[in-house]
Amino acid sequence: MSKVDQLKRVEVAALQDLSVGIGKRVNVSGEEIALFKQKGGTVSAIQNSCPHKGGPLSEGIVSGEHVFCPLHDWKINMKDGQVQAPDVGCVKKYEVEIVGEKVYIFVD
């Protein structure tokens, strides 16, 4: 956790603004980040740019903990940022903290 301590905690959304199955875009000081609310009420945050051609992942079809990029259908795990086989790569993943209704992420 020591690394997280050095990062900045930023409030990015209210829990009620997010809905399961639809991504949400947030721009944090120029960084495009996609937020996804999961069934259990947790939230994942990943870089909003597919490693393939930079497609906005926030607009993709969500399937459980995976999102399909809207441009060419790459499948990305939003929990660990890993691109699913047969494609390869990963997107940046952000730590998320939920306090009451507020959703925070940690950025450097």
Partner 1 sequence: MGYLQKKVKEIKERWTVTEKLVLIGNGMAGIRTVEEILKKDASRFQITVFGEEPHPNYNRIMLSSVLQGDSTVDDIVLNDYNWYEENHIELLTGDPIVKVDAEKQVVYSQNGLERSYDKLIFATGSNAFMLPLPGADKEGVIAFRNIKDCETMIETSKKHKKAVVIGGGLLGLEAARGLLNLNMEVDVIHIADFLMERQLDEQAGKMLKTELEAQGMRFHLKKNTKQILGKDRVQGIEFTDGTSLETDLVVMAVGIKPNIALAQEAGLTTERAIVVDDFMQTNVNQIYAVGECAQHRGIAYGLVAPLYEQGKVLAAHICSENESLEHGYQGSLVYTQLKVSGVNVFSAGHFQDSKETKAIRVHDEFEGIYKKVVVQDNKVVGAVLFGDTSDSTRLLSMMRNGDDISAMSKVALLPSESGEAQVSPVVAMADGDNVCDCNGISKGAICSAITENGLTTVEEVKQCTTAGRSCGGCKPLIADLLTLTTGEEVGNMPEPLCGCTEYTHEEVVAEIRELGLSHPREVMNVLGWESDEGCSKCRPAINYYLKMVDPIKNADDPTSRFINERAHANINHNGTFTVVPRMYGGVTDSGQLRKIADVADKYNVPLLKITGGQRIDLFGVEKEDLPNVWSDLGMRSGSAYAKALRTVKTCVGEQFCRFGTQDSIGLGVELEKKFEYINTPHKVKMAVSACPRNCAESGIKDFGVVGVDGGWELYVGGNGGVDLRGGDLFCKVKTKEEIIDTISAFMQYYRENARYLERTSHFVERVGLDQMKQVILEDEEGRKSLINRMEIALSTGKDPWKEIVENEELQKEFKKKQVEVLS
3 state SS of 14: strand
Cβ distance to partner 1 smaller for residue 73 or 80: 73
Backbone angles phi, psi at 98, to 5 degrees: -115, 120
Contacts of 80 (CB under 8 A, 6+ apart): 90, 93
Contact call for residue 81 and partner 1 (CB under 8 A): no
Q: Are strands 96-99 and 61-63 parallel, antiparallel or unpaired?
A: unpaired
Cβ distance to partner 1 smaller for residue 24 or 43: 24
Interface pick for partner 1 out of 2, 5, 25, 51 (rule CB under 8 A): 25
Residues that bind partner 1 (CB under 8 A): 8, 10-13, 17, 20-22, 24-29, 53-56, 59-64, 66, 68, 70-71, 73, 75, 85-88, 107
